[in-house]
């Protein structure tokens, strides 16, 4: 979203709200490490006027069935005021399987949209102005293939790739830790991320090639401090690889972004992000020597954590979502995605998605969180908690580094075991009542599991998707297709950047499954170790 002219804010009582308040407003001395918004170390936000000039983007996660069904949902959300898209892919696509693969049976389009070819993604984005609406693509193991599709669509539509904005999630280390949707071994997986970072730096400099996801690590059981620490360690691993390839830190660091979770104590959530911004700024400037202040920004999407939603008393998830959104805004997010109240049951209905969108709009239009920068800044509690969170995050990072680092820890399964152990402790505390959850272990009552409309699985849509794929295979230029797929293998074997070859391959109608298999021929597949602390 483009910055708007600074607006004047006058409360109903006639009091004018200043864009920024600091120590001078209360005649108190400045606190070390807090600083001013828009200035290093960005504790109070990465922009000088934050939402007073540029409100957070609202980007609901959406996608199911076929590209056409998903396109209809995208247009519904945009018509209702959504300002960015966040695309969900089905599990077969995430795992590099085509819709006609026997292993995809029953999962095609179930928890996201099926994308087998360039034509599928193009149809999903049909009628959407990619110069005006930024698109976040929640895809990881096959992210290089999807980036190639984005580049090909831009070329097909005559868009300038150098100004095209959007985000590729593309965080494979968090998949090893928190979700399991990995394909290739750890090192070649990082190399493929390096391909996307390098390609974007050279050809798509406004595009964000990686969104490092503490979100999924937190949802897998990590503490808030572990969520931030592991995300920063993962980001460092990607940066180290990019720099080893010869990229200057300032050529790509400003386009890295983060995806974080909101779940639990509001003040802890606010403090972890204020602390995280400060710590990340120091890491990028002091460790990597970045000169551009934008390289030091911790740009983030922070949304209501699905893990915090409950099957019991599902209407209460509307209330939880509002508090999660409030925490996200108070913490200084750039983009917000709010889980819908029915997501403990199903893919959100249009009604549920609209309620989540309206929740964020109420926050922007009525509640006042956009009126001044960092409204909790200077609070004795919040500033002390911010300092404590920074120390806690740093402690986890130091422990992982001293044990061999994040990449070795993921490859060995040690990080996965650490998160799993914390998830066990948290679940034990929920079951014992040591951690209270309304409607789950306290304040229960009859009818807690209310009836919620569920999204039906459309087997006919999956069949139509397989039919389209069969038609494409029958009608494509087989010789051109074979040459393009072999060129992808050649680039992978030679250590060349694979993205140009992947762009040519998707343009030659190579499928996600075929290109994944070609890369697996070179890189092999990961076998998960089993460990427990």
| pLDDT tens string 230-274 | 999 999 999 999 999 999 999 999 999 999 999 999 999 999 999
Do 50 and 277 form a contact (C-beta atoms < 8 A)?
A: no
Pairing of the two strands 256-262 and 210-213: parallel
Q: Which of 7-16, 25-34, 43-52 has the lowest mean pLDDT?
A: 25-34
Of 361, 340, 364, 362, the residue nearest 351 (C-alpha): 340
End-to-end CA, the chain = 45
| pLDDT classification of 452: cutoffs 50, 70, 90 | confident
Here the CATH number for the domain that contains residue 66 is: 3.20.20.240
Give the per-residue pLDDT at 469.
97
If you average pLDDT over residues 512-522, what whole number do you get?
98
Pairing of the two strands 166-168 and 61-62: unpaired
Whether 129 maps to a domain, the answer reads yes
What are phi and psi for residue 498, nearest 5 degrees?
-85, -15
Domain count, the chain: 1
Do 462 and 476 form a contact (C-beta atoms < 8 A)?
A: no
Of 57, 60, 42, the residue nearest 2 (C-alpha): 57
Q: What is the pTM of this model?
A: 0.95
Residue 533 has pLDDT above 90, yes or no: no
Let me know how long the chain is: 533
Question: The domain containing residue 186 runs over which residues?
Answer: 56-432
Give the per-residue pLDDT at 531.
62
Rounded CA separation 440/433 (Å): 9
Whether 499 maps to a domain, the answer reads no
Q: CB-hemisphere CA count at 13 Å for 97?
A: 18
Give the per-residue pLDDT at 50.
96
| pLDDT tens string 144-168 | 999 999 999 999 999 999 999 999 9
Residue 1 has pLDDT above 60, yes or no: no
Residue 3 has pLDDT above 70, yes or no: no
Give the per-residue pLDDT at 333.
97
Of 528, 281, 253, 268, the residue nearest 413 (C-alpha): 528
Whether 463 maps to a domain, the answer reads no
What are phi and psi for residue 404, nearest 5 degrees?
120, -5
| pLDDT tens string 161-203 | 999 999 999 999 999 999 999 999 999 999 999 999 999 999 9
Give the per-residue pLDDT at 528.
83
Give the per-residue pLDDT at 448.
67
Rounded CA separation 265/19 (Å): 27
- The secondary structure of residue 341, as a DSSP letter, is T
Do 193 and 237 form a contact (C-beta atoms < 8 A)?
A: no
Rounded CA separation 295/509 (Å): 37
If you average pLDDT over residues 209-235, what whole number do you get?
97
Whether 349 maps to a domain, the answer reads yes
Rounded CA separation 356/198 (Å): 36
Residue 310 has pLDDT above 70, yes or no: yes
Give the per-residue pLDDT at 382.
97
Give the per-residue pLDDT at 25.
85
Give the per-residue pLDDT at 29.
84
Q: CB-hemisphere CA count at 13 Å for 243?
A: 14
Whether 178 maps to a domain, the answer reads yes
More confident residue, 324 or 29: 324
Do 205 and 255 form a contact (C-beta atoms < 8 A)?
A: yes
Rounded CA separation 326/304 (Å): 10
How many other C-beta atoms lie within 10 A of the C-beta of residue 395? 12
Do 441 and 433 form a contact (C-beta atoms < 8 A)?
A: yes
Give the per-residue pLDDT at 305.
81
Rounded CA separation 440/66 (Å): 35
Residue 49 has pLDDT above 60, yes or no: yes
Pairing of the two strands 134-138 and 57-58: unpaired
| pLDDT classification of 77: cutoffs 50, 70, 90 | very high
Do 278 and 41 form a contact (C-beta atoms < 8 A)?
A: yes
Do 28 and 371 form a contact (C-beta atoms < 8 A)?
A: no
Mean pLDDT, rounded, of the chain: 95
DSSP state string for 40-76:
TT-TT-SSSSGGGTSPPEE--EE--BSHHHHHHHHHH
Do 305 and 339 form a contact (C-beta atoms < 8 A)?
A: yes
Do 452 and 345 form a contact (C-beta atoms < 8 A)?
A: yes
Residue 447 has pLDDT above 80, yes or no: no
Q: At what angle do helices 143-156 and 186-203 cross, to 10 degrees?
A: 20
If you average pLDDT over residues 89-117, what whole number do you get?
97
Rounded CA separation 345/288 (Å): 44
Whether 428 maps to a domain, the answer reads yes
3-state secondary structure of 300: strand
Residue 4 has pLDDT above 70, yes or no: no
Whether 291 maps to a domain, the answer reads yes
Rounded CA separation 64/89 (Å): 7
| pLDDT tens string 334-370 | 999 999 999 989 999 999 999 999 999 999 999 999 9
| pLDDT classification of 433: cutoffs 50, 70, 90 | very high
What are phi and psi for residue 113, nearest 5 degrees?
-85, 150
Residue 450 has pLDDT above 80, yes or no: no
If you average pLDDT over residues 403-418, what whole number do you get?
96
Whether 394 maps to a domain, the answer reads yes
Residue 60 has pLDDT above 80, yes or no: yes
Q: Which of 73-87, 115-129, 303-317, 444-458 has the lowest mean pLDDT?
A: 444-458
| pLDDT classification of 101: cutoffs 50, 70, 90 | very high
Rounded CA separation 35/37 (Å): 7
């Amino acid at each position: 979203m483009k910055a708007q002219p600074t607006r004047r804010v006058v409360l109903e009582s006639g009091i004018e709200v200043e864009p920024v308040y600091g120590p001078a407003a209360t005649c108190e001395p400045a606190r070390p490490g807090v600083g001013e918004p828009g200035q290093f170390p960005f504790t109070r936000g990465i922009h000088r006027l934050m939402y007073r000039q540029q409100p957070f983007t609202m980007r609901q996660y959406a996608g199911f069935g076929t590209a056409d069904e998903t396109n209809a949902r995208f247009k519904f959300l945009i018509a209702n005021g959504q300002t960015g898209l966040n695309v969900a892919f089905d599990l077969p696509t995430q795992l590099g399987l085509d819709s006609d693969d026997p292993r995809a049976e029953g999962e095609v389009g179930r928890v996201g949209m099926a994308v087998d070819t360039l034509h599928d993604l193009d149809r999903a984005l049909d009628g959407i102005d990619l110069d005006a609406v930024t698109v976040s693509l929640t895809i990881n193991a096959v992210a290089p293939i999807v980036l190639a599709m984005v580049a090909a669509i831009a070329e097909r539509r005559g868009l300038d790739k150098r100004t095209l904005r959007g985000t590729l999630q593309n965080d494979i280390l968090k998949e090893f830790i928190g979700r399991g949707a990995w394909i290739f071994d750890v090192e070649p997986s990082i190399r493929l991320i390096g391909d996307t970072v390098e390609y974007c730096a050279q050809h798509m400099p406004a595009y964000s090639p990686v969104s490092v996801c503490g979100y999924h690590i937190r949802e897998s059981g990590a503490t808030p401090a572990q969520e931030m620490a592991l995300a920063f360690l993962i980001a460092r691993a990607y940066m180290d690889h990019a720099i080893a390839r010869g990229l200057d830190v300032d050529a790509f660091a400003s386009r890295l972004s983060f995806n974080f979770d909101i779940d639990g104590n509001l003040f802890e959530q606010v403090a972890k992000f204020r602390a995280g911004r400060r710590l990340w700024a120091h890491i990028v400037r002091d460790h990597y020597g970045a000169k551009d202040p934008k390289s030091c920004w911790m740009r983030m999407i922070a949304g209501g954590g699905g893990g915090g939603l409950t099957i019991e008393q599902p209407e209460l998830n509307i209330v939880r979502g509002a508090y999660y959104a409030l925490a996200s805004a108070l913490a200084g997010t750039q983009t917000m995605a709010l889980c819908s109240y029915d997501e403990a049951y199903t893919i959100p209905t249009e009604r549920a998605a609209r309620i989540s969108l309206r929740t964020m709009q109420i926050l922007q239009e009525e509640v006042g969180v956009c009126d001044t920068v960092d409204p909790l800044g200077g609070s004795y509690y919040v500033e002390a908690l911010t300092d404590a969170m920074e120390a806690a995050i740093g402690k986890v990072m130091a422990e992982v580094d001293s044990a061999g680092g994040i990449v070795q820890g993921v490859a060995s399964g040690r990080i996965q075991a650490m998160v799993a152990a914390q998830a066990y402790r948290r679940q034990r505390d929920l079951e014992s009542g040591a951690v209270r959850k309304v409607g789950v272990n306290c304040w229960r009552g009859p009818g807690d599991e209310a009836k919620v409309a569920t999204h039906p699985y459309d087997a006919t849509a999956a069949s139509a998707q397989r039919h389209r794929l069969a038609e494409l295979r029958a009608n494509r230029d087989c010789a051109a297709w074979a040459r393009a797929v072999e060129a992808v293998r050649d680039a992978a074997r030679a250590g060349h950047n694979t993205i140009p070859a992947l762009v040519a391959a998707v343009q030659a109608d190579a499928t996600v499954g075929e290109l994944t298999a070609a890369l697996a021929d070179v890189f092999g597949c990961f076998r998960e170790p089993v460990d427990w602390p």
